[in-house]
């Protein structure tokens, strides 16, 4: 849809259609709606967000913004915190749809990881893993600690609890967004050292984050709770989560290979079943389903000849996947909370961005990366999304002394990074010369 209506009259028609959709949805919602529609609120919300996100992304092309920004903006405007066209209950009901979209994005991410590419970029990946994790964690944690007087929930914390919160904040700061990374690469059809290096690092860094989270939780507990013992139980749970997730991911990948070999490329129904059903089972088993799906995609890509078929099948649904996921993400954005916390949110987001830029510059020099990668290697690491919020929610449940405020601040900072990150990464791919010709107007790119 974004490839059409590029003229000014076409854009005007799209704007009128978007306004008309919003008015129709407002009439239905604010006048109580039709009983049959009320029972199908989730379906109506998905349809509205899909159309509104697609139209908004097409309109934002006029100023060169990435499509993801349009999806987020449409969701935020229509969500329960602003216009209320999609209410809190509808957002909650859409979680299975969101899980489906994220599972397909994770499968695609795993399928983008090629062993030969990992081997060629091993030096750069090794330095990136070292410098983009521990130093960034410590620097952002230090900024959080020093900014304690500016943070509402941190002002009254004793020194030990503030140190614990700063350490945990550092873990939140080193999370990235695989979905935003893949969304921008899909839109721009980028190919080259920058896009490849970013995908390799972002997809593999989740494992490092999970390990560092277990370590941080182990250290934080005695700091917050006087008399609490230093316990290594978290590492037992970590071992179960990592080994179990990888095992299930390998098994799923082998099953997908068998399906592709004996059935062929008709993958839509199995992928929908995996996204809607398997995610619920994995949650029950307390495994990391993002890691499972990345592993499964990696197995299909590297242990079979069906990697391209598999990836094309997922990309065939790319437009719907990215619109729905990021529109629902936008609907979650708490705009009043962001307005309340924006000064400290900007401070912490800015500190994270500077630390990421500095680490990227050091990686480029030490790994002797190509010039474009040295200059722009940090750009794809700014976006944040589900993993950061998941960690914040876990902190909220485990440390009630500051958990609620911690989770609220994390939501505000993630919002800033999720809006700014895709814009910066798209700019970087264009300046590095990796975005293919014609992508500025989004013509025919999947995920547009």
Per-residue pLDDT tens over the stretch 305-361: 888 888 887 776 666 777 877 888 787 777 777 788 888 999 999 999 999 999 999
Residue length of the chain? 448
Q: For the residues 424-430, what does the mean pLDDT come to?
A: 92
Q: What's the pLDDT score for residue 232?
A: 63
Whether residues 350 and 335 share a domain: the answer is yes
> Within a domain: residue 205?
yes
Question: Taking 60 as the threshold, does the pLDDT of residue 448 lie above it?
Answer: no
Question: Taking 70 as the threshold, does the pLDDT of residue 11 lie above it?
Answer: no
Domain boundary among 76, 91, 106: 91
Domain boundary among 91, 124, 152: 91
Q: How many domains does the chain have?
A: 2
Question: 189-217: per-residue pLDDT in tens?
Answer: 888 889 989 988 988 887 788 888 888 88
> Within a domain: residue 2?
no
> Within a domain: residue 1?
no
> Within a domain: residue 448?
no
- Asked if residues 421 and 378 have their Cβ atoms less than 8 Å apart, the reply is no
Whether residues 204 and 330 share a domain: the answer is yes
Domain enclosing residue 378, as ranges: 96-441
Whether residues 87 and 183 share a domain: the answer is no
- Asked if residues 79 and 333 have their Cβ atoms less than 8 Å apart, the reply is yes
The CATH code of the domain that includes 232 is: 1.20.1530.20
Find all residues with CB under 8 Å of 398, minimum gap 6, and list them: 217, 221
> Within a domain: residue 3?
no
Q: What's the pLDDT score for residue 446?
A: 33
Whether residues 138 and 250 share a domain: the answer is yes
pLDDT tier, 2 (very low <50, low <70, confident <90, very high otherwise): very low
> Within a domain: residue 47?
yes
Whether residues 117 and 62 share a domain: the answer is no
Whether residues 178 and 298 share a domain: the answer is yes
Domain boundary among 37, 64, 91: 91
- Asked if residues 317 and 268 have their Cβ atoms less than 8 Å apart, the reply is yes
Q: What's the pLDDT score for residue 94?
A: 73
- Residue of 50, 73, 70, 51 whose CA lies nearest to 59: 70
> Within a domain: residue 250?
yes
Does residue 96 sit in helix, strand or coil?
helix
CA distance 141 to 328: 30
Question: Taking 50 as the threshold, does the pLDDT of residue 36 lie above it?
Answer: no
How crowded is residue 340: how many other Cβ atoms within 10 Å of its Cβ?
14
Q: For the residues 399-424, what does the mean pLDDT come to?
A: 87
In this structure, what DSSP letter does residue 275 have?
A: I
| Average pLDDT across the chain, whole number | 80
Q: What's the pLDDT score for residue 408?
A: 84
Question: 43-95: per-residue pLDDT in tens?
Answer: 677 777 777 788 787 777 777 778 878 888 888 888 787 777 777 777 777 77
Q: What's the pLDDT score for residue 8?
A: 56
Question: 105-158: per-residue pLDDT in tens?
Answer: 788 888 888 888 778 778 888 999 999 999 999 999 999 999 999 988 888 889
Whether residues 371 and 319 share a domain: the answer is yes
> Within a domain: residue 226?
yes
State the pTM of this model: 0.77
In angstroms, the Cα distances linking 93 to 42, 87, 90, 139, 325 are 6, 10, 5, 38, 13
Whether residues 113 and 233 share a domain: the answer is yes
């Amino acid at each position: 849809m974004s490839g059409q209506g590029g003229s000014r009259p076409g854009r005007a028609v799209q704007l009128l259609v978007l306004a008309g959709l919003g008015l129709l949805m407002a009439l239905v919602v604010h006048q109580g709606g039709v009983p049959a529609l009320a029972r199908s609120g989730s379906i109506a919300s998905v349809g509205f967000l899909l159309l509104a996100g697609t139209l908004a992304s097409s309109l934002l092309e006029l100023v060169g913004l990435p499509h993801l920004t349009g999806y987020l903006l449409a969701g935020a405007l229509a969500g329960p915190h602003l216009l209320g066209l999609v209410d809190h209950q509808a957002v909650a009901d859409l979680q299975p749809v969101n899980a489906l979209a994220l599972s397909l994005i994770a499968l695609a991410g795993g399928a983008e990881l090629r062993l030969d590419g990992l081997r060629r970029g091993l030096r750069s990946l090794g330095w990136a893993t070292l410098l983009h994790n521990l130093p960034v964690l410590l620097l952002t944690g230090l900024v959080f600690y020093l900014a304690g007087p500016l943070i509402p929930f941190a002002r009254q914390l004793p020194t030990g609890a503030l140190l614990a919160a700063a350490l945990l904040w550092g873990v939140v700061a080193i999370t990235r967004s695989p979905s935003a990374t893949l969304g921008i690469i899909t839109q721009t059809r980028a190919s080259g050292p920058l896009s490849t290096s970013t995908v390799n690092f972002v997809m593999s860094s989740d494992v490092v984050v999970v390990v560092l989270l277990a370590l941080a939780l182990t250290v934080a507990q005695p700091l917050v709770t006087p008399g609490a013992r230093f316990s290594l139980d978290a590492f037992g749970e970590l071992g179960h989560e990592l080994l179990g997730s990888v095992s299930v991911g390998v098994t799923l990948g082998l099953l997908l290979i068998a399906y592709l070999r004996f059935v062929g490329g008709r993958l839509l129904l199995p992928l929908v079943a995996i996204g809607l059903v398997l995610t619920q089972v994995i949650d029950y088993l307390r495994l990391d389903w993002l890691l499972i799906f990345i592993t499964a995609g990696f197995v299909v890509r590297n242990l079979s000849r069906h990697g391209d078929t598999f990836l094309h099948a997922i990309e065939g649904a790319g437009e719907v996947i990215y619109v729905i996921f990021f529109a629902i993400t936008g609907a979650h954005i708490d705009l009043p909370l962001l307005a309340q916390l924006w000064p400290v949110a900007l401070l912490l987001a800015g500190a994270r961005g500077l630390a990421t830029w500095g680490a990227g510059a050091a990686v480029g020099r030490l790994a002797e990366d190509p010039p474009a990668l040295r200059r722009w290697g940090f750009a794809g690491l700014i976006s944040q999304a589900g993993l950061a919020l998941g960690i914040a929610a876990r902190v909220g449940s485990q440390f009630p002394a500051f958990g609620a405020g911690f989770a609220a601040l994390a939501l505000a900072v993630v919002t800033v990074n999720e809006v700014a990150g895709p814009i910066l990464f798209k700019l970087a791919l264009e300046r590095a010369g990796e975005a293919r010709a014609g992508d500025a107007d989004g013509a025919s790119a999947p995920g547009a």
